């Protein structure tokens, strides 16, 4: 195998690889031989199909597969021979057929930047620390009770925290929304579920009462027909109900799977769940902090442009999908607007991978399984999620990368100059200090 290399830019390389034609032909013959042993064709017994028949029927397909295999293997051999580290898959150009006894192709790709020996000891990293206390457990239990509350109808004017059911329609000039009849909805007064002007008008209203109020809708209002318009909104109250929390008794506790309804066992399980959530939130903060400092420290190093472009396209697609899931269909996101985020993600991925390589770090299989279990535990059927991950190599590959990166982040935090910032559970979960 002959290999020549060209430097197209600081990070871009082009390899020209020549492979003896016999290598391709040998791969083709071996694949045809294996296929003839297993293929079923009408008029022949399994394993008894003549080689010429197999080649006539499957020759083109087999040759394409063999060509791909030879190119992949020889490319890997070539980059190892030349001591190159591709940053992504190469762009292969070949005629697909041997000439003058050789199969010849070119492979254009970008290489991983030379970061040198990465020393993280000088990085100044802020690490938020917090713990779960009894007050946090009390608050979560109250939240669980609130989620199980019931509403009892009352014959009085609506007050804060009441559930108010209404029928509404809006008129803006010649426009009426909806065009006919009324929309049926509801809100918890003070929750902000409805427009603030409408909620304010509902205070004191009783069942059967009707009122029309002037409302100015924001430009990004969720109802496109009313966005940015001034309208007269008519509301009619159909129900007013007061919330009632369930008692913290045996039945309530057992509804969460705690046998015997023991309060202390319930509190212990709540604490365990909160500590798991806190651990994840603290890790997310640490990850963002470490990556920010690490990427900033290597901002002068050029990153692979094609890799950044691909990441920007991927982020743009994700943003469009997210918008569609939120009901904002037809949103178009230009990849150029994602360039900065893509640059950071590419730099972070390459730097974390390089540190793992330099420090000879290996994936912690126990941590991998724990992370997969944690993800599964947030779904209704955890076992189904576990089976999905184990059967989907793409999902598992992404999970392995994430867990490995978290390992590297923690290693960096252990070797950097760290300042601990005390916080509390509620602030961490709200995103505050």
- CATH at residue 157: 3.10.50.40
For residue 380 the two structure tokens come to: 């209704």
The secondary structure element, H or E, covering residue 16 is strand 12-20
Q: What does the pLDDT read at residue 96?
A: 75
Q: Which of 187, 218, 244 is the last residue of a domain?
A: 244
What is the rounded CA–CA span in Å between residue 308 and residue 338?
A: 9
The predicted model scores a pTM of 0.77
Stronger pLDDT, 50 or 70, i.e. the higher one: 70
Per-residue confidence band for 31, with pLDDT thresholds at 50, 70 and 90 = confident
Tens of pLDDT, residue by residue over 269-325, are: 999 999 999 999 999 999 999 999 999 999 999 999 999 999 999 999 999 999 888
Model confidence at 52, pLDDT cuts 50, 70, 90, reads confident
Q: Examine the domain organization and report whether 426 and 291 are in the same domain.
A: yes
For helices 393-415 and 365-377, angle between their N-to-C axes, nearest 10 degrees: 110
Q: What is the pLDDT of residue 57?
A: 82
Do 274 and 405 belong to one domain? yes
pLDDT category at 101 given cuts 50, 70, 90 is: confident
323: domain CATH number?
1.10.3120.10
Last residue of a domain, one of 218, 244, 270: 244
* Nearest residue to 250 (alpha-carbon basis) of 234, 237, 238, 264: 264
Last residue of one domain, picked from the residues 212, 244, 276? 244
Q: Which residues pair with 86 in a beta bridge?
A: 111
State the average pLDDT over residues 49-70: 84
Residues 6+ apart with CB under 8 A from 7: 13
358, pLDDT greater than 80: yes
Does pLDDT of 30 surpass 90?
A: no
Pair 275, 169 in one domain: no
Of 249-253, 256-260, 314-318, the one with minimum mean pLDDT is 256-260
Same-domain check for residues 97 and 131: no
Mean pLDDT taken over the chain: 92
Residues 282 and 211 in one domain: no
pLDDT > 70? residue 356: yes
Q: Which of 150-159, 167-176, 330-339, 374-383 has the lowest mean pLDDT?
A: 374-383
In this predicted structure, what is the pLDDT of residue 433?
55
Structure tokens at 407: 């390992």
* Tens digits of residue pLDDT in 150-202: 999 999 999 999 999 999 999 999 999 999 999 999 999 998 889 999 999 99
Contacts of 259 (CB under 8 A, 6+ apart): none
pLDDT for 370 beyond 70: yes
Average pLDDT (46-73) is 83
Q: What distance in Å separates the CA atoms of residue 87 and residue 343, rounded to the nearest whole number?
A: 14
Rg (CA), the chain: 32
Please, which pLDDT band fits residue 32 given cuts at 50, 70 and 90?
A: confident
pLDDT tops 90 at residue 405: yes
144 in a domain, yes or no? no
Buried b (16+ CB within 10 A) or exposed e, 77-95: ebbeeeeeebbeebebeee
Are 355 and 408 a contacting pair, CB within 8 Å?
yes
Please state, in angstroms and rounded to a whole number, the distance separating the CA atoms of residues 317 and 311. 10
Residue 141 lies in a domain: no
297 to each of 112, 121, 227, 244, how far by Cα in Å? 17, 12, 45, 55
- Determine the pLDDT at residue 340: 95
Neighbour count for residue 275 (Cβ, 10 Å):
14
Q: Report the CATH number at residue 78.
A: 3.30.70.1050
Query: How many folded domains does the chain comprise?
Result: 3
d(C-alpha 312, C-alpha 335), whole Å: 5
Considering the domain architecture, whether residues 82 and 131 belong to the same structural domain is answered as no
In a domain, 254, yes or no: no
Facing residues of 128 across strands? 421
The token pair at 120 is 């993280």
Domain housing 315: 124-135+260-430
Confidence of residue 230 (pLDDT cuts 50, 70, 90): very high
304 with 370, same domain? yes
Whether residues 94 and 225 fall in one domain: no
pLDDT at res. 432: 59
């Amino acid at each position: 195998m002959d290999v020549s290399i060209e430097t197209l830019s600081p990070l871009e390389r082009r390899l020209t690889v020549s492979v003896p034609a016999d290598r391709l032909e040998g791969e083709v013959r071996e694949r045809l031989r294996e296929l003839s042993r297993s293929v079923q064709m009408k008029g022949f017994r399994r394993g008894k199909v003549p080689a010429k028949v197999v080649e006539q029927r499957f020759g083109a397909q087999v040759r394409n597969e063999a060509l791909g295999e030879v190119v992949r293997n020889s490319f890997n051999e070539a980059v190892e021979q030349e001591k190159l580290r591709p940053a992504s898959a190469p762009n292969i150009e070949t005629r697909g057929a041997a000439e003058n006894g050789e199969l010849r192709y070119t492979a254009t790709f970008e290489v991983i930047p030379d970061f040198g020996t990465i020393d993280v000891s000088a990085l100044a990293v802020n690490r938020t620390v917090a713990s779960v206390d009894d007050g946090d457990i009390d608050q979560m239990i109250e939240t669980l009770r609130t989620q199980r509350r019931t509403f009892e109808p009352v014959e009085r004017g609506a007050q804060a925290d009441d559930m108010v059911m209404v029928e509404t329609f809006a008129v803006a000039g010649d426009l009426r929304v909806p065009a006919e009849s009324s929309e049926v909805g509801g809100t918890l007064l003070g929750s902000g579920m409805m427009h603030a002007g409408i909620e304010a008008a509902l205070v004191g209203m009783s069942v059967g009462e009707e009122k029309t109020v002037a409302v100015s809708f924001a430009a990004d209002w969720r109802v496109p027909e009313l966005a940015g318009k001034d309208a007269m909104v008519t509301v009619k109250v159909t129900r007013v109900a007061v919330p009632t929390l369930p008692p913290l008794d045996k039945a309530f506790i057992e509804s969460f799977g705690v046998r015997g309804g023991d309060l202390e066992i319930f509190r212990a399980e709540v604490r365990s769940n909160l500590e798991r959530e806190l651990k994840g939130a603290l890790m997310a903060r640490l990850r963002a902090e470490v990556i920010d400092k690490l990427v900033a420290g290597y901002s002068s190093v050029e990153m692979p442009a094609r890799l950044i472009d691909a990441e920007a396209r991927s982020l743009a697609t994700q943003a469009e999908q997210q918008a569609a899931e939120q009901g904002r269909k037809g949103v178009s996101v230009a990849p150029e607007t994602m360039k900065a985020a893509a640059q950071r993600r590419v730099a972070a991925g390459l730097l974390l991978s390089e540190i793992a390589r330099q420090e000879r770090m290996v994936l912690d299989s126990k941590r991998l399984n724990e992370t997969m279990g944690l993800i599964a535990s947030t779904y209704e059927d955890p076992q189904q999620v576990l089976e999905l991950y184990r059967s989907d190599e793409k999902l598992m590959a992404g999970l392995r990368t994430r867990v490995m990166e978290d390992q590297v982040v923690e290693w960096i935090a252990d070797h950097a100059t760290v300042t601990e910032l005390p916080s509390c559970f509620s602030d961490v979960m709200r995103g505050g200090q």
